[in-house]
Amino acid sequence: EGAFNYDPIEYDPNYEEGPTEDPNLLHNGYFGRNLAGWYSRRGQWFRVNEPFYGEIDTGSVRIDCDDAGERFESHKVPVTAGEALNTICKVQYREVTSTGSVPGFILRMNLYKDGGFVSYVDIDSILSPAGVAGWQTLEGVLNIPSDGSVNEVSMEFNVDASVTGGTAFWTYARILR
pLDDT reported for residue 59? 87
pLDDT reported for residue 63? 96
pLDDT tens sequence for the chain (177 residues): 555 555 565 655 665 666 567 899 999 999 988 999 999 999 999 999 866 565 656 789 999 999 889 999 999 999 999 999 999 999 999 999 999 899 999 999 999 999 999 999 999 999 999 999 999 999 999 999 999 999 999 999 999 999 999 999 999 999 999
Three-class SS of the chain: CCCCCCCCCCCCCCHHHCCCCCCCCCCCCCCCCCCCCEEEEECCEEEECCCCCCCCCCCEEEEECCCCCEEEEECCEECCCCCEEEEEEEEEEEEEEECCCCEEEEEEEEEEECCEEEEEEEEEEEECCCEEEEEEEEEEEEECCCCCCCCEEEEEEEECCCEEEEEEEEEEEEEEC
- Measured between alpha carbons, how far is 89 from 145 in angstroms, rounded to an integer? 22
pLDDT reported for residue 19? 59
Threshold 0.75, pTM exceeds: yes
